[in-house]
Amino acid sequence: MHDVRGALISRAWPTDRIAFGGDYNPEQWPREVWRDDVRLMAEAGVSFVTLGVFAWSWLEPEPGRFDTEWLDESMDLLHDHGIAVDLATGTASPPPWFSHRHPETLPVDHSGRTLWPGSRQTWCPSSPVFTEHAVALVEMLASRFHDHPALAMWHVSNEYACHNLPCYCDTCADAFRTWLQRRYGHLDALNDAWGTSFWSQRYGDWAEINPPRRTTAIPNPTQAVDYARFGSDTLLEQFLAEREVLARWTPDVPVTTNFMSMSMFRRLDYHRWAAHQDVISTDHYPLTHLDDPVAELAFAADLTRGFAGGRPWVLMEHAPSAVNWQPVNRAKGPGEMIRHSLIHVARGADALGFFQWRASRAGAEKFHSALVPHAGSESKVFAEACRLGRLAGALGEVVGSRVVADVAVLWDYEASWACQQPAHPSNAIEYADVAADVHAGLRAMAITADVVHPSADLSAYRLVIVPTLYTCRDDSAASVAAAAEAGATVLVTYFSGIVDEHDHIRLGGYPGAFRDLLGVRVEEFFPLAPQATVALSDGTSGTAWSELLQAVDAEVVTTFTEQPLAGVPAVTRRRVGAGAAWYVATRLSNTAWATLLNRLTAEAGVQPAAVVPAGIEAVRRACDERSWLFLINHTEADHEVTVDGTDLVDGVERTGTWTLPAGAVSVLRQPAYRN
């Protein structure tokens, strides 16, 4: 993977500012609007646009006949106004003629129903016919625009797997068998991995294997996890087929595809995909049904930085105001667009993209907000976009710097796929819950965490959190143990280390992979009823889960105080080498997490980015010469803070104690950070 800064300066990408822009769809508008668009883009400070995401039917109106006149004109117009182009391959949604001529490429849902064209992404992930046509379109685009001066980055497809994965058609069934043969080599290995001695499922021929389609009872869980792996790998192959064409024509132009790193979207293993991106980019939209959507936003930003290996990344899409796809689509209040954007920048984004530039008049997303809304440029949204554009320019010196984080939170898509299978001790165990709890607790303390894969290098972290890592490979468990031996404080939570990569139970007592590290042994799970709580000896409580736990070689920190587990350990600690390993056997309340995280961070020597009042988000980015402290006031009250530095937002020198107004942001240039 290229360094982000190095990759993006190869063409016209803006490097003297946080890049600012978004999805631009000139094909939706008459040409007289285009001139107004570039005038308003200049007014707003737009420095890049993503062009042509859903343009296949315009680029290839009928099979084999290409038309780029409108795109030629758009590219020239944008270049004339100094706007860099992230040029999409247009392959996210095939045109109607494709589906009409090739109905065998239509996806099939879990119940065997064909999904018909009429929206987007209506294609089978395994289809070689789709690949052939998509690659032909990309070949045309690359040959046509490879030397265009506006071209700064390639954008392959769009939001892979948002709508067409998993697919259960016969094409996918054949591709799945091929994938399994590559993975296992021999049927005996597959039968062992899938545990097919149970329920008489043993396979004698590859042709007998199907996708985990709707069946009479509980499907084979390892088969289901392998199908999730297959789906992610299959779409990655589609991406790589397009990428190969682009790399051949323009080896100096970075290639990306936009991930969807909201914590609820887990259809692709982005850790595997990340290695094939020149630049990590993602889309994020706050989930308003959550108790704290902004906390999830911050989690997703830290997760995206984890994909990028700590390097800066691109926020390809977020919303200027309301979206159109939630039950109630709340408009953003004054300053909220800027606050949300600055959370991403604080946590590593060097580019801010929106969906979209101009709100559509027709179609399924016509009520999705845009930088230029239906009301036009005389609007709250456009005025705030202009303020954000000026701020993006003022923050140019931050570009290329890294986020300071001494804490790692482990996140694994394969563990998520296995954890969410049916027939587990409790359907209330959601893979993301504890990770979100811990991350939110750290954020409230102004402590930043990297959200990383279990295989990541953990040696630089003072505190390592292992939340509900249900599936755990031997090397991952060894890496966590090595971090503790070397001096880190490690925390493992319930329902971690239970199974291996084949979803086979690790025998001898839970939490199998971490049992020796933690010095505990769990005999039996005691999941709690919905809404039930269990009292703990420190006066706090837990929910969702409890366990019959023995402290074999560990200090008991907290116990359960209610039957049937009264007196049984709930939180333990074991000294390990130069560090320590903690275990938590229930889902702690927010108060309990706050108490425990204070103790863990103190033990590990983890410091906050700044000492600030509650409700002020504080995150630090740094380079060798200087650092930048981001302060975001999410409250409706003014707060006093005591930190020094030059505020890039307004150029004011801040010293001593000063007031950060309600809803305001501040970015302070400070001396180099020394941890």
The set of residues, in sequence order, having a beta carbon less than 8 Å from that of 198 and lying 6+ positions away, is: none
Which residue in the list 159, 296, 336, 414 is annotated as catalytic?
159
Can you tell me the distance from the alpha carbon of 124 to that of 103, in angstroms, rounded to the nearest whole number? 10
Query: Given this model, what pLDDT does residue 553 score?
Result: 96
Q: How confident is the model at residue 9 (pLDDT cuts 50, 70, 90)?
A: very low
| Per-residue model confidence (pLDDT) at position 1 | 32
Looking at domain 407-604, does it have CATH number 3.40.50.880? yes
Average pLDDT over residues 507-535: 97
Judging by DSSP bridges, how do beta strands 639-642 and 657-660 pair with one another? antiparallel
> Which runs of E-coded beta strand occur in 156-291?
255-256, 258-260, 281-283
Cα separation, 455 vs 408, in Å, equals: 12
**Dihedral angle of Cα 28, 32, 34, 40, to the nearest 10 degrees:** -120
Q: How far apart are CA 52 and CA 150, in angstroms?
A: 14
Q: Kindly report the pTM of this predicted structure.
A: 0.97
Catalytic residue check, 159? yes
Q: State the pLDDT at residue 674.
A: 80
Question: pLDDT by residue (tens digit) across 189-237?
Answer: 999 999 999 999 999 999 999 999 999 999 999 999 999 999 999 999 9
Range 314-333 average pLDDT? 96
- Give the span between the Cα atoms of 554 and 488, in whole angstroms: 17
- Mean pLDDT of all residues in the chain? 96
Instruction: Give per-residue pLDDT as tens, 333-378.
Output: 999 999 999 999 999 999 999 999 999 999 999 999 999 999 999 9
In angstroms, the CA 83 to CA 374 distance is: 23
Share of the chain above pLDDT 90, in %: 97
Contacts of 650 by beta carbon, 8 Å cutoff, 6+ apart: none
pLDDT at position 11 is 66
- Each residue's pLDDT tens digit, 280-304: 999 999 999 999 999 999 999 999 9
The pLDDT of residue 491 is 98
- Class of residue 325 by CB neighbours under 10 A (exposed 0-12, middle 13-18, buried 19+): exposed
Fold of 616-671: Immunoglobulin-like (2.60.40)
| pLDDT at position 6 | 39
> Which structure tokens are listed for 596?
């425990």
**The pLDDT of residue 175:** 98
Q: Where are the domains of the chain?
A: 4-165+254-400, 407-604, 616-671
Whole-number pLDDT of residue 2: 37
Residue burial 201-237, b: 16+ Cβ < 10 Å; e: rest: eeeeeeeebebbeeeeeebbbbbbbbbbbbbbbbbbe
Average the pLDDT over each of 12-21, 122-131, 495-504 and give the range with the smallest value. 12-21
The one catalytic residue in 60, 296, 317, 547 is 317
Residues 358, 37 contacting (CB under 8 angstroms): yes
62-82 exposure pattern, b = at least 16 Cβ within 10 A, e = fewer: eeeeeebebbeebbebbbeee
pLDDT at 327 over 60: yes
- Residue 555 annotated to the active site: no
Q: Is the pLDDT of residue 10 over 80?
A: no
CATH of domain 4-165+254-400: 3.20.20.80
Mean pLDDT of the region 458-464? 97
Q: What is the mean pLDDT of residues 414-439?
A: 96
pLDDT band at 76, cuts 50/70/90?
A: very high
Q: How confident is the model at residue 7 (pLDDT cuts 50, 70, 90)?
A: very low
> Is the peptide bond preceding residue 511 cis, with omega within 30 degrees of 0?
yes
Quick one: pLDDT band at residue 14, thresholds 50, 70, 90? confident
